[in-house]
A and B are shown apart, each in its own frame.
Chain A
Amino acid sequence: MASSTDLVFILVVVIDLFLLASSRLGAAIRTVAIQGALLALLPLLLVREEHALGHAVVLAMGALAVKGIVIPRMMFSAIREASIRREMEPILGFVPSMVVGGAGIALAFAFSSRLPLPEPAHAFLVPTALSTVWAGLLLIVSRKKAVNQVLGFLVLENGVFVFGLLLSEVMPLMVEAGVLLDLFAAVFVMGIVMFHINREFASLDTEKLSALKD
């Protein structure tokens, strides 16, 4: 059982690396959906006590619905509307992105064992969370297409979600539900703004959004 949890965490990190390297938007959205579905598995794999099982099931179903199904569908309709398929060379090129992302991941895995965890948790949990946050941050900062920036935001939230799994006893269900709901609402609003951007600029390239500067 322990090794399948290991595998899920490692797969999440490999997906991060793949996202840093990919330029095809359709593949990227599908990959983020897969990552969301994997994360939905994690509460079920990590539950240790009987009474927490119900809580874990609810969280898993919510995460699967929001991250794995609803949000990717919204993203797909956004790119269909704008009929874009590829990201051009981003601000930080694909190869440097991979290298910087990989360096961050390596540091996260190497030094996480030094962090004092108040309660025993799976050894890969904190490094995976931090790696995913780092990858999401890189994506937001370095990509030019608005859709990719939103994907970066989703990956960042995925990383924060993984970290939140550490606290399944401390955090009441309401806050976690609020987190998922806020994620959904944020992406919903972003989708609407992207629709307007596409209508106004006839493209989703945020390079065009550079009229305002000092």
Chain B
Amino acid sequence: MLLVILAPLLCAAVAFVVPSGRRRPLALLAGAAAHAAGVARLVAAPSAPGPRDWLGVDALSKIALLTTTVLFLAAAVYAQGYLARRSDRPNRMFVGGLLVLLGAMSAVALSRHLGLTWVAMDAATLATAPLIYFNHNARSLEATWKYLLIGSLGIALALLGTFFLALSGAAPGGPRSLFVDELVAAGPALSRPWVRAAFVFLLVGYGTKMGLAPLHAWKPDAYGEAPGLLGALLAGGLTNFAFLSIVRVFQVTRAAGEDAFARDALVGLGLFSIALSAVFVVGQKDFKRMLAYSSVEHMGILALGLGLGGAAAAGAFFHSMNNGFTKGVVFLSAGNIHRAFGSKSTDDVRGAARRLPLSGPLFLAGFLAVTGSPPFAPFFSEFAILNGAFAGGRFLVGALFLAFLAVIFVGMGTTVLAVVQGEPSRPAEPGTRDSWLTAAPPLALMLIVLALGLFLPAGLRALFGDAAALVGGGW
């Protein structure tokens, strides 16, 4: 278990020390491989977490770790090509930071103590902030500052929420600790007003990291200015772990009996996020910012699924895996397009399909997947959530969900089609043609997304069911 956390950190240390900029990206591959090996062992060998264990594996961690390790592997391969092309920039911070991020995210997944979860989330935030500044221009600096400040604010509020939760456990008969298992076991003994207050603050705090509206202000800037590689890891990885932290808190809230309130809050915030992203995605000229709003939408879908419960909860966990992979596809291919045309605005970029025979169509396919078109996997996960809504009698919620999805499809479609179709508008930047290193990873992820849609392995399906059972749902 420790291998999964420590191996990336070790590789990060190596990356900081290695003097050669050309060899350094190999550390990424090494870290990704070690991580993948560790995760494979963890998933294969079932071990229920014992009480008072700081680290442990359960269904939620398995889902998050599986998604992340595949995503990071793809990103590591992509990084070989990307960093070779961007040899003008020193990449010590970038490579090291990405590996630290992987280690921190693994710690969040495996943590059974809410204090450790908080420390790891904070470490992840701080490790990624300097990476947004990779392009070293005024816009990315502005994005970095907003990310850092709003992220730190969210983390500070999450800390206050964690303290509230600890206080709720200090009631007579309570567990007096922050171990998730003990808090869930103590259930009704927890002090309810404090649990409620804790949930609010933790939802706001970790929701800021997730990028739920109205706490998403940093997302368009950060994802818009960061390199596509980082955007993929943040949108597909870190936000999933913020979601995971919220699910753990939801477990405790549910055990304490406050889940009606929590569910309402989650459904409300989820719908609001989807609605807001629908508004901002229409007419968005910058296609990377558009992807950021798409991330807001998907976080809203996750919150909605969790809040609805039942089959929708299982659908939400399926969706978290799909979101990881599809975001990888769109961000990596968008990064390729951005570099090939030297701009990320639809004013300048046209005909990506012709200039980049792999990345262009991948971007289009990714768009179809992200907006929930069959036969890609997100269609099935979103359908499961919608089904859960109608089955639970929440017809208005389901109808609104459908309406917003439709608006987003049209809004994103105009931008993506404008970018992909037509004749290339500008002469190509030198050295930006599709290479295997930069186009194969998104292609591989896309194939995974397609495969998951066509055929969901029974093992995975059971895993989603188990995860949903932890929060009172299930297929």
Chain A residues with a Cβ under 8 A of chain B: 115-119, 133, 136-137, 140, 146, 149-150, 153, 156-157, 159-160, 163-164, 166-167, 169-172, 174-175, 178-179, 182, 185-186, 189-190, 192-193, 196-197, 200-201, 206, 209-212, 214
Contacts and interface: CB of A to CB of B under 8 A. Distances in A.
A166 B145 CA distance: 33
Contacts of A189: 126, 129-130, 148
Contacts of B113: 175
B156 interface: yes
A171 B129 contact: no
A116 B195 CA distance: 12
Contact of A201 (B138, B171, B176): B138
Contacts of B118: 175, 178
A156 B146 CA distance: 17
A182 B145 contact: no
Interface in B101-151: 113, 115-116, 118-119, 122-123, 126, 129-130, 133, 138-139, 141-146, 148-149
B136 to A, nearest CB: 8
Given A189-B129, A190-B148, A211-B138, A163 B119 contact: no
B174 interface: yes
B129 A153 contact: no
B171 A118 contact: yes
Contacts of B280: 214
Interface of B: 113, 115-116, 118-119, 122-123, 126, 129-130, 133, 138-139, 141-146, 148-149, 152-153, 155-156, 159-160, 163, 166-172, 174, 176-178, 191, 193-194, 220-221, 224-225, 280, 284, 289
Given A200-B141, A212-B143, A179 B159 contact: yes
Contacts of A167: 163, 166-167, 170
7 contacts: A116-B193, A118-B170, A171-B166, A178-B115, A186-B148, A189-B130, A197-B141
B64 to A, nearest CB: 21
Given A116-B191, A193-B144, A211-B139, A170 B149 contact: no
Contact of A209 (B142, B152, B176, B177): B142
Nearest to B151: A186
Query: Which of B152, B168, B194 has the most C-beta atoms of chain A within 10 angstroms of its own C-beta?
Result: B152
A157 B158 CA distance: 11
B115 A175 contact: yes
Prevailing SS type, chain B contact patch: helix
Contacts of A119: 170
Contacts of B122: 182, 185-186
B193 A153 contact: no
A182 B126 contact: yes
A214 B163 contact: no
Contacts of A211: 138-139, 142
Given A170-B178, A193-B129, A212-B220, A160 B159 contact: yes
Nearest to B137: A200
Nearest to A171: B166
Contact of A170 (B116, B142, B152, B176): B176
The 5 closest A-B pairs by CB, nearest first: A175-B115, A209-B142, A118-B171, A178-B119, A182-B122
Given A182-B123, A192-B130, A206-B145, A214 B153 contact: no
Nearest to B142: A209
Nearest to A150: B149
Contact of B163 (A149, A164, A186): A164
Interface-central residue, B146, B153, B220, by most chain A CB under 10 Å = B153
B166 A212 contact: no
A61 B168 CA distance: 28
Contacts of A210: 142
Contact of B167 (A166, A178, A179): A166
Nearest to A201: B138
Given A118-B171, A209-B142, A170 B133 contact: no
Name, among A149, A163, A196, A212, the residue most crowded by chain B CB atoms within 10 Å (CB to CB): A212
Contacts of A192: 130
Given A182-B123, A193-B133, 5 more contacts: A157-B156, A159-B160, A160-B156, A189-B130, A212-B143
A168 to B, nearest CB: 11
B148 A193 contact: yes
A90 B146 CA distance: 18
Given A118-B191, A189-B130, A209 B145 contact: yes
